[in-house]
Amino acid sequence: MTRAPLRADRSALITGIGAVTPLGNDFDTIADALLDGRSGVVEIDGAGFSREARQFAAPVAAIPAMAADDSLDRLGRLCLVAAHAARADAGLGDLGDLGGGPVAGARVGLVLGIGAEQLKGWEADFLAGGRQVFSPDRPPSLVHRIAAHLGIDGPAVTVAAACASSGYALALARRWIAMGLVDVCLAGGADILSPTGFAAFYNLRALSRRSDDPVRASRPFDRDRDGFVMGEGSAVLVLEARRHAEGRGARVRGELAGVGMSGDATHMVIPSDDPTEAARAIQLALLDAGVEPAGVDYVNAHAAGTPVGDVAEAAAIRLALGRAADGVPVSSTKSMSGHLVSAAAAFEALACLAAIDRQTIPPTLNLDHPDQRCRLDHVPHVARPHPISVTASNSFGFGGANLCLVIRRAA
């Protein structure tokens, strides 16, 4: 059997969006919150989580119920609800309805970026005496259970790349489409708040230790930042081959036009002080999309609010964009959503789609005193109306997983 040639058009159209987040559970609600500068960070009950007198986080208030989620834990329900919503938004039929309607005959895949799939299970098992984690009676992997709930029989995998996990999921889905392995692929990720996660990031001194006001705790690029605020949620996009989307008359929300990846492996949690590899991920994404640095209208920064990470990213953006850097607006939506960890990259792709849809750049909250080491065209406090056709979204995961996605307005 001969292998199908790689199509010249490597782009993938975005035809559906689903999400469950601290800022809302649908595109318009989330877009409104981002552009209004509303924060999802609140004080939470510290029982089982807190290492400080007051604990701040960005939780999901409530996960919409579904009849098919009885066997799933919180992480699974976040994945299932977002994936089902994305599929419905794309007009791909009801749950499990791959046998007819507009996706008849389509080859559909699923890629989820999940770094904490077993975390809750491990925690519960540890408290129960440690007997069930490796039991043969445990259910199949989460991604395959989600695929079964959705009626997806195509390829289904989980990827883990720390804070860039869901971005790598989108990149892999786009690659599958470009190679002709699938026509449609649901891709994104999810993460949850957990005692283990809080303890780990706290001990790494990655979390903010502010205790004055939850809304003011996340401060990307600000000179007084002291770490990120944990969030939870899920975001899933439907990516689709252009010919398939056009053939069924799909509404197109945008295009995943370019992907760039690199690794530096300098330290497990500290970014490299040499911006070369992080910048290369941005440059490769622009090259893949056929976009010059001056053609970028908005950068959604990874910027979580850590003292070292924000400086490293600012240097990478300046190196990648060169002279154009002074004229490209940059903001961090983590100042409102908190850091969704494995789901962050997919959520921030959604934020780029919101910016394109509303022709407005979401702000960075709490950017009262920009760090002089982060010289960028910041958008502090309030949204900025701006013509937007091309966006770049950065994700830099612990351990050196560097990723940039170029998301373009639909042609």
pLDDT at 117: 55
Q: What are phi and psi of 342, to 5 degrees?
A: -60, -30
C-alpha 224: how far from chain center: 25
pLDDT at 141: 86
- Which residue, among 167, 183, 170, has the nearest Cα to 302 in the 3D structure? 167
DSSP H helix total and E strand total for the chain: 11, 15
Q: Which domains does the chain have, with CATH numbers?
A: 12-247 (3.40.47.10), 258-408 (3.40.47.10)
- The Cα–Cα gap between 34 and 239 comes to 23
- Which residue, among 48, 63, 154, has the nearest Cα to 111 in the 3D structure? 154
pLDDT at 269: 78
Burial of 3 (0-12, 13-18, 19+ CB in 10 A): exposed
pLDDT at 4: 38
Name the token pair of 239: 């990516």
Catalytic residues: 163, 302, 339
- The Cα–Cα gap between 78 and 75 comes to 5
Torsion of CA 115, 302, 111, 83, to 10 degrees: 100
Task: Render each residue's pLDDT in the chain as its tens digit; 411 residues.
Answer: 333 334 446 679 999 999 999 999 999 999 999 999 999 999 998 766 677 778 999 999 999 988 666 778 899 999 999 999 999 999 997 534 434 445 555 699 999 999 765 565 565 555 556 555 556 666 778 999 999 999 898 999 999 999 999 999 999 999 999 999 999 999 999 999 988 888 889 988 999 999 999 999 999 999 999 999 999 999 999 999 999 999 999 999 999 999 999 998 888 778 888 999 999 999 999 999 999 999 999 999 999 999 999 999 999 999 999 999 999 999 999 999 999 999 999 999 999 999 999 999 999 999 999 999 999 999 999 999 999 999 999 999 988 899 999 999 998
Global pTM?
0.93
- Which residue, among 306, 332, 339, has the nearest Cα to 56 in the 3D structure? 339
Any alpha helices (H) in 157-289, and if so which ranges?
165-178, 195-203, 242-247, 276-289
